[in-house]
């Protein structure tokens, strides 16, 4: 049985909220490690002590505030997943887990999608939600 780490996440979330830093330089199509947290039910969880996972920056919403799509390396099928490769690794954009996040959740830049994959992910998102 998987044990949820809610109390650990609350402690980290409190530290993130108090973090005083300028937003990093972020572009749409970038992939960043983001603290997504310990979540409820079928919501995507982060991993490690940072509760993080790679996420694609879909759109800048405001200064330091972004709309992102978390990713997974698990092989997934369905209209809510878009397959892509990053640095030779097969990944899936989890369109159904898209969310807005503050820049204080960002840890480090993993890389950038190529234009073709970014367009494929945007198209998949619009087909699912448009």
12-28 residue pLDDT tens: 999 999 999 999 999 99
57-70 residue pLDDT tens: 999 999 999 999 99
76-113 residue pLDDT tens: 999 999 999 999 999 999 999 999 999 999 999 999 99
| Count of alpha carbons within 13 angstroms of residue 82, beta-carbon side | 24
User: Domain coordinates of the chain in residue numbers?
Assistant: 6-129
Residues 6+ apart with CB under 8 A from 86: 31, 110, 111, 113, 117
Note the pLDDT of residue 83.
97
The answer to whether residues 92 and 72 touch, using CB atoms and an 8 Å cutoff, is yes
Beta bridge partners of 85: 90
Note the pLDDT of residue 130.
83
Note the pLDDT of residue 41.
87
Note the pLDDT of residue 17.
96
Note the pLDDT of residue 91.
97
25-57 residue pLDDT tens: 999 999 999 999 999 988 899 999 999 999 999
Note the pLDDT of residue 9.
94
What is the pLDDT confidence band of residue 1, given thresholds at 50, 70 and 90? low
Question: CATH number of the domain at 6-129, out of 3.40.228.10, 1.10.20.10, 3.40.50.920, 2.30.30.110?
Answer: 2.30.30.110
Rounded to whole angstroms, how far apart are CA atoms 59 and 55? Answer: 12
Beta bridge partners of 66: 60, 101
Rounded to whole angstroms, how far apart are CA atoms 5 and 31? Answer: 25
Rounded to whole angstroms, how far apart are CA atoms 48 and 92? Answer: 19
């Amino acid at each position: 049985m998987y044990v949820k780490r809610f109390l650990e996440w609350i402690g980290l979330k409190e530290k993130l909220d108090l973090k005083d830093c300028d937003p990093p330089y972020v572009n749409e199509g970038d992939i960043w490690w983001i603290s997504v947290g310990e979540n409820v039910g079928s919501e995507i969880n982060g991993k490690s002590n940072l509760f993080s996972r790679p996420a694609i920056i879909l759109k800048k919403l405001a200064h330091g505030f972004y709309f992102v799509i978390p990713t997974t390396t698990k092989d997934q099928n369905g209209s809510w997943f878009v397959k892509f490769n990053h640095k030779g690794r097969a990944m899936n954009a989890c369109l159904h887990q898209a969310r807005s996040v503050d820049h204080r959740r960002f840890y480090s830049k993993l890389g950038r999608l190529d234009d073709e994959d970014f367009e494929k992910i945007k198209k998949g998102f619009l087909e699912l939600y448009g």
